[in-house]
A and B are shown apart, each in its own frame.
Chain A
């Protein structure tokens, strides 16, 4: 078994494009849940409309790539308004029910046969990311240190993605350390109290839902760019729950919590994956089939999360003082 190989490939995944995409979507979820207290179980819905915003604009309607990104953001705003207007005046649990349902309905709509002319139906869409890769400033070749190396394509993706993540973190930090952020956190604690002090709680919750959704849509758009092909069935509900696991792992209500959570989670996933794969190939575990590896690695991630919640409920960088405060 080659531990160096396992570690280096885990490290590559942890700082690679996919981890950055998940970090970006988790930052949006952190704004929803970590700061505003909105239970959004449909973040994947924002990623879906974001991904298709780019793909449909470029492939179906022949718009330039930048316009595709603008459409992604606009779709996220519309989805947030659709979700928020009927539910944000109600108790928190209504929003959570609606988000999970609407995300699923959106996926089914995008894959429906009547939508095939626009969205490609179950076959999805391809050939929309050309402009992005044409703009790659890195000459072809491999870049890296030691066992860790990335292609020029991945390096370009990572530059843009981690740039987006850094920008999103900066935006979040500025917002949360402002009077706006104070109102948002107040709503998380008790929205009636905030309303009694003259703040329009509905508007704040809507702003939070929209901005967090836009982060999700940008993540979705970058999924499309990264894969250069998308199908609706990539946007299953479990994506949202991965995001939740990452957010709680890193620490909800912290600027860098979702980023750290995404990185650590992908590191662990890859380590378990490679470890189990090499164990099964050496035949040490005769009961372990190659096809079981995928399921088993999720069980091990589940176990890690379980231990985390028992021993460190605030997440890796969560604020223990905040966590231990007697809530109500």
Chain B
């Protein structure tokens, strides 16, 4: 990663065309196809995700965004095609194996482990625990130290996501927005290099949306790659470095927010004629990408 204190535009010189190559892709998708019966849900010819950026995946309902997410993260099987993450082919890997390579996902319908405490939710996610093996579980001496180190890391993350006060409560007693925060914090316990967020703002109140946006940009600023699916146009235009538009399973456009806003095909397919220009006051985070240039 760059040690330059001022953020750099990692997408400089990349043409806004579907399937364009990126200077340093962390995720490369080639010919990935999945159909359900006669319906082709996903048919992505070529797609690259640039390392260290926030990339948004948008598209009308049924465009195949969530299916693509499921395919890439090993939660569904492709009919054809291949994809690689950090140079490693992920075909045929199960969901847990993909997560171990450093690509961790969240879900559209938040999956807090409701009858576990917030702290247990966090600790569960820590990778490579000795006490996680059945035989290791009996020897507390072997995993006690590791457990304490993980607990420290979990507390720091909970503090950052403002959940520390809730650490001993059941995750099921959290509000919808807090569950989203917990899910994000929990995914960071895995030490990912890329997080895949499936509609992180769905059903979250406006005040919390701001805080979630702050957390997402903070992830990028720490060098993580973020790929997320979202519907709220103001949010997307505000924080994304790059936007990929999916329609009927295909990538129909790619580009910076300004390119997408000006793209006639996207406007027709997705935004419709009634889309309003986002107001800058609504999304403070919108200021950041502007400074980059």
Contacts and interface: CB of A to CB of B under 8 A. Distances in A.
Given A179-B132, A179-B137, A181-B137, A197 B115 contact: no
A196 interface: yes
B137 A174 contact: yes
A197 B172 contact: no
B103 to A, nearest CB: 10
A237 interface: no
B166 to A, nearest CB: 13
Nearest to A193: B111
Interface residues of B, number: 44
Interface in A244-302: none
Contact of B125 (A180, A190, A197, A200): A197
Nearest to B123: A182
B127 interface: yes
B131 interface: yes
B62 interface: no
Interface in B60-91: 73, 75
Interface residues of A: mostly helix, strand, loop or mixed? helix
A211 B190 CA distance: 28
Interface in B161-196: 170, 172-173, 183, 186-187, 189-190
A175 B107 contact: no
Interface residues of A, number: 31
A194 B138 contact: no
Contacts of B136: 178, 180
A4 to B, nearest CB: 44
Given A175-B134, A180-B136, A325 B111 contact: no
Given A189-B115, A190-B111, A197 B124 contact: yes
Interface in A152-190: 174-175, 178-183, 185-186, 188-190
A321 interface: yes
Contacts of B107: 192-193, 196
Nearest to B111: A193
A2 interface: no
B137 A178 contact: yes
B131 to A, nearest CB: 4
Nearest to B133: A180
Contact of B96 (A201, A211, A326): A201
A185 to B, nearest CB: 6
B50 interface: no
Most chain A Cβ neighbours within 10 Å, of B100, B106, B111, B187? B111
Interface in B101-121: 104-107, 111-116, 120-121
B95 interface: yes
A322 B104 CA distance: 28
Given A196-B105, A197-B190, A321-B170, A190 B137 contact: no
A185 B170 CA distance: 13
Interface residues of B: mostly helix, strand, loop or mixed? helix
A198 B124 CA distance: 10
Given A174-B138, A190-B111, A196 B104 contact: yes
B140 interface: yes
A182 B133 contact: no
B113 A196 contact: no
A198 B190 CA distance: 8
B278 interface: no
Nearest to B109: A328
A186 B124 CA distance: 8
Contacts of B186: 197
Contacts of A201: 96
A145 to B, nearest CB: 37
B186 to A, nearest CB: 7
Nearest to A170: B138
A194 B132 CA distance: 13
A178 B94 contact: no
A160 to B, nearest CB: 23
B185 to A, nearest CB: 12
A209 B166 CA distance: 33
A328 B176 CA distance: 10
B115 A327 contact: yes
Nearest to B100: A198
B145 to A, nearest CB: 13
Contact of B134 (A180, A197, A321, A328): A180
Nearest to A325: B172
A182 B120 contact: yes
B115 A322 contact: yes
Given A178-B140, A180-B131, A326-B172, A196 B116 contact: no
15 contacts: A174-B138, A175-B137, A179-B124, A179-B132, A179-B143, A180-B134, A181-B137, A182-B116, A185-B115, A193-B112, A195-B96, A196-B96, A197-B104, A198-B97, A207-B134
Interface of A: 174-175, 178-183, 185-186, 188-190, 192-201, 207, 211, 321-322, 325-328
Given A179-B132, A196-B187, A197-B124, 12 more contacts: A178-B137, A186-B120, A186-B121, A196-B95, A197-B186, A198-B96, A198-B127, A198-B190, A199-B132, A325-B114, A325-B115, A327-B114
Interface of B: 73, 75, 94-97, 99-100, 104-107, 111-116, 120-121, 123-125, 127, 129-134, 136-138, 140, 143, 147, 170, 172-173, 183, 186-187, 189-190
Across the A-B interface, give the 6 residue pairs with the lowest CB-CB distance, nearest first: A325-B172, A193-B111, A178-B137, A198-B99, A179-B131, A180-B137
